[in-house]
Amino acid sequence: MKITEHFDAKEFLCKCGCGKSTISADLVNKLEKLHYLMDAKAVYVTSGYRCPSYSPKVGGYSTDAHTKGIASDIQVLRKNGAFYSAFDIAEAAERLGFSGIGIIDNVTCHVDIRNASNYSNSHWFGNEKSNENYSTFQRGTIFPNESKNNSITVTIEINGEKYKGTINKI
């Protein structure tokens, strides 16, 4: 069953075969925004909802964000057929307001919408392989559907006279 333009409910089913799935509409809406920002050919959900008994079997916890329906592990395919790097996905996800982001491998990234009311900690940016934590994933990448405006318009006042002009970013 299609739940948004690019996502189907079956993508978020627990992979243990129990048939369970609880997924946040807010999470799926943010994934749609990620799809648009990155001008993706596809966003693959490699792990969506996980039941509490299955999540520990794949490296998670029985109470992790996947078991609450607020997380997905994803890969993003470019229109040219190559995958974005996990760090590219993390950078875009941070800009869109995902509050839990983790690098899983070269092309797979964990994203979630944790906050103080739905999870034990309201923010985490890190690397699941190296156990490093990050304050940001921002590197200045411009994604395909992001503003490419490299100039700003300013108004300045000198000795009571106002001047308006354009300044180019360098």
Residue at 34: amino acid letter = L
Look at residue 152 in the predicted model and tell me its pLDDT.
Answer: 58
Look at residue 107 in the predicted model and tell me its pLDDT.
Answer: 98
Look at residue 91 in the predicted model and tell me its pLDDT.
Answer: 97
Give the Cα-Cα-Cα angle 19, 106, 141 (nearest 5 degrees).
110
The CATH number for 9-145, chosen from 3.30.230.10, 3.40.50.2300, 3.40.50.300, 3.30.1380.10, is 3.30.1380.10
Cα separation, 63 vs 119, in Å, equals 9
DSSP 8: B
Look at residue 168 in the predicted model and tell me its pLDDT.
Answer: 57
What pTM, to 2 d.p., does this model score? 0.85
What would the two tokens of residue 93 be?
Answer: 């996800």
Cα separation, 13 vs 78, in Å, equals 24
Look at residue 115 in the predicted model and tell me its pLDDT.
Answer: 95
Query: CA-CA distances (angstroms) from residue 118 to 62, 63, 115, 129, 169?
Result: 15, 11, 6, 25, 40
Look at residue 153 in the predicted model and tell me its pLDDT.
Answer: 62
Look at residue 161 in the predicted model and tell me its pLDDT.
Answer: 79
Look at residue 164 in the predicted model and tell me its pLDDT.
Answer: 72
Cα separation, 104 vs 124, in Å, equals 14
Each residue's pLDDT, cut to its tens digit, for the chain (170 residues) gives 899 999 999 999 999 999 999 999 999 999 999 999 999 999 999 999 999 999 999 999 999 999 999 999 999 999 999 999 999 999 999 999 999 999 999 999 999 999 999 999 999 999 999 999 999 999 999 899 887 555 556 667 777 777 776 665 54
